[in-house]
Amino acid sequence: MGDGHLKKYETKPIKHPLSRLKKHYQGLDAFTRHKQMINNYFLYYPGAHEKFKERDTSQDKNDYDIIRENHKFLWNSDDITEAEKSWDAKLAKRYYDKLFKEYCIADLTFYEKNKVAMRWRIEREVKSGKGQFICGEKHCEKDKGLESWEVNFTYKEHGEKKSALVKLRLCPACSAKLNYHSMKKRVSKEKKKESRKRQKKSKEKSSKKSKKEDEEESSSSDSSDEDETEEKEDEDKNESEISQKAREEAKIAEEASKVWSRDPFAEKSQEEAMDEFLDDLLF
């Protein structure tokens, strides 16, 4: 065979396997890419599973662990300023802001040991009425004969003893458990009525004060109107005086201008002047 019948084969450059992997992983999202890489690591590297078991998991935390470590029953201004410095405290403060702090939920399991656990209500409990229209004990669902209690809740938080005045709505049985060691303060309807009366009285006083202030303002406005009328009269007088002065000045200016419009006096001769002088002397 001649040279014209020979086939020519072109040699193409061989691609590196890493470039193929890059193209493959670029089409995947982060989660599937992570799973595939971990699976390949387990397949191609012997003993990888044991290494994963031996890994230190003490520092692994989820959101629940972070909130549990940084949670506070009540946050003050200093705590809020410190919370802005760390992400963990910000997360705990964000969870605290979502709680409803009118009534508490109590756990009276260890009431005989004088140990009572309390927490604020969440949105689901507020919608269902738990803690306000249903007994506020964690395991109780009674909704009749509920009583309101004010409790000075003392607790230990991050090694510090703290106290807070909270409200509870409990059924008679749970109320007896709450008052097992010491009688708590009951929020009766009479006290509620008294507080409402006080609020009404304060509102009436504030309304009376506002009325007095309005009257004083009206009187002050009347006096100010009188002052304004007097000022206007004085201004009118001043304007009339100024107008009179302006008229007089205008008259003087007109007379001065007339002097220049008159015919000039004829000059007298010496003889006429002597005659007038002699006439004055003789006669």
Q: What is the DSSP string of 171-198?
A: -HHHHHHHTSSSPPEEE-HHHHHHHHHH
Whether residues 94 and 117 share a domain: the answer is no
Higher pLDDT, 52 or 65: 65
User: How far is residue 25's CA from residue 87's CA, in Å, rounded to a whole number?
Assistant: 32
Give yes or no for residue 70 having a pLDDT over 80: yes
Give yes or no for residue 164 having a pLDDT over 90: yes
Which residues partner with 221 through β-bridges? none
Looking at residue 259, its pLDDT comes to 52
Domain count for the chain: 3
Structural domain contains residue 252: no
Please give the residue range of the domain that contains residue 76: 62-98
Compute the half-sphere exposure of residue 124: CA atoms within 13 Å on the CB side of its CA. Answer: 0
Whether residues 87 and 106 share a domain: the answer is no
Whether residues 70 and 136 share a domain: the answer is no
Whether residues 87 and 166 share a domain: the answer is no
208-219 pLDDT per residue, tens: 666 666 666 555
Whether residues 181 and 147 share a domain: the answer is yes
Structural domain contains residue 128: yes
108-125 pLDDT per residue, tens: 999 999 999 999 999 999
25-60 pLDDT per residue, tens: 888 888 998 998 888 888 888 777 777 777 777 788
Average pLDDT, the chain: 79
Whether residues 37 and 72 share a domain: the answer is no
* Cα radius of gyration (the chain): 51
Whether residues 42 and 118 share a domain: the answer is no
Q: Residue 78 contacts by C-beta under 8 Å, 6 or more apart in sequence?
A: none
Structural domain contains residue 244: no
Q: Which of the four pLDDT bands, split at 50, 70 and 90, describes residue 146?
A: very high
User: How far is residue 35's CA from residue 45's CA, in Å, rounded to a whole number?
Assistant: 15
Whether residues 67 and 40 share a domain: the answer is no
**Of 172, 193, 214, which one is at a domain's C-terminal end?**
193
Structural domain contains residue 30: yes
Whether residues 110 and 182 share a domain: the answer is yes
Looking at residue 60, its pLDDT comes to 83
Structural domain contains residue 172: yes
- Whether residue 170 contacts residue 133, with contact meaning beta carbons closer than 8 Å, is answered with no
DSSP summary character for residue 266? P
Whether residues 25 and 41 share a domain: the answer is yes
Looking at residue 46, its pLDDT comes to 79
User: What is the length of the chain?
Assistant: 283
Give yes or no for residue 81 having a pLDDT over 70: yes
Whether residues 91 and 131 share a domain: the answer is no
Region 95-119: mean pLDDT is 94
